[in-house]
Amino acid sequence: MSYFFLQCRLERCRFRFPASAEESQALVCPRCGGEVEVVAETLKSNPARPRSVLEALTLVGLLDNIRSIHNVGSMFRSADGAGVGHLYLAGITATPEHPKLAKAALGANEDVPWSYYANGLDAVADLRANDFHLWALENVDDRKSTSSPPSGFPQKLALVVGNERAGIDPAIQRECDALLSLPMSGRKSSLNVAVAFGIALYWVRYGKLLAPIPNRESGDQHDDDGQAGEHADRDHLGRRVG
């Protein structure tokens, strides 16, 4: 799908924003109402799917008592991107049958298989019966935290996340083979549960495969780098559009 980047023609504004091909036909500047022009075009394509990586590890998720529908939808989207084979939903976690979940999932709720359990411990029992190792994504004491797997990655792994406020049910956490904690360098002690789930999924699935791809020769400049710097101190930068 093609997208355009539009820019306001007024020199005192120069507001720049993306729009789809259809939207760009009738748009005016949302900041000042002036005329806009197309300054760049981008084509969104589907990334390559590394089948060998997907075959090396069967990865599933257990979402126990996630209170936010939007978080659950975001988790479905992350699960789709990381090649998660199944999501086990438990307790108050919303299922794709909820009409508001699809908006956050952007259709991923139709691609990722799922099942629902009233009690998360029943999901744990089924995972154990199918030879899954369970890793709990949870805040732990720094002395217990680790940035590497305890003994490598198992072939079948279930990543467990819990309630945004209470965390993982203690009974479920006791059943987990390992605790995985994301390091925090700021004042906050944790990330949003959907963000943390996505980071952990991609670390488990792709690990060292995540690397930047060279985009331009060293020393090259974008065409508008100079203009961006020239206008960087204008007072409209950072203002809310509305």
pLDDT per residue as tens digits for the range 113-165: 999 999 999 999 999 999 999 999 987 765 454 445 555 678 999 999 999 98
- At residue 158, the pLDDT reads 97
DSSP H helices, 7-130, are: 21-24, 51-56, 69-81, 101-105, 120-129
d(CA 181, CA 11): 48
Rounded to two decimals, the pTM is: 0.75
- At residue 176, the pLDDT reads 95
DSSP three-state, residue 159: strand
Beta strands 156-161 and 58-64 are parallel
- What number of other Cβ atoms are within 10 A of residue 42's Cβ? 11
- At residue 55, the pLDDT reads 66
Weakly modelled stretches of the chain, pLDDT under 70: 1, 26, 44-55, 104-108, 141-152, 188-189, 208-211, 213, 217-242
Q: Are residues 14 and 231 in contact, defined by beta-carbon separation less than 8 angstroms?
A: yes
- At residue 21, the pLDDT reads 82
- Residue 211 to residues 22, 31, 69, 182, Cα–Cα distance (Å): 34, 37, 32, 19
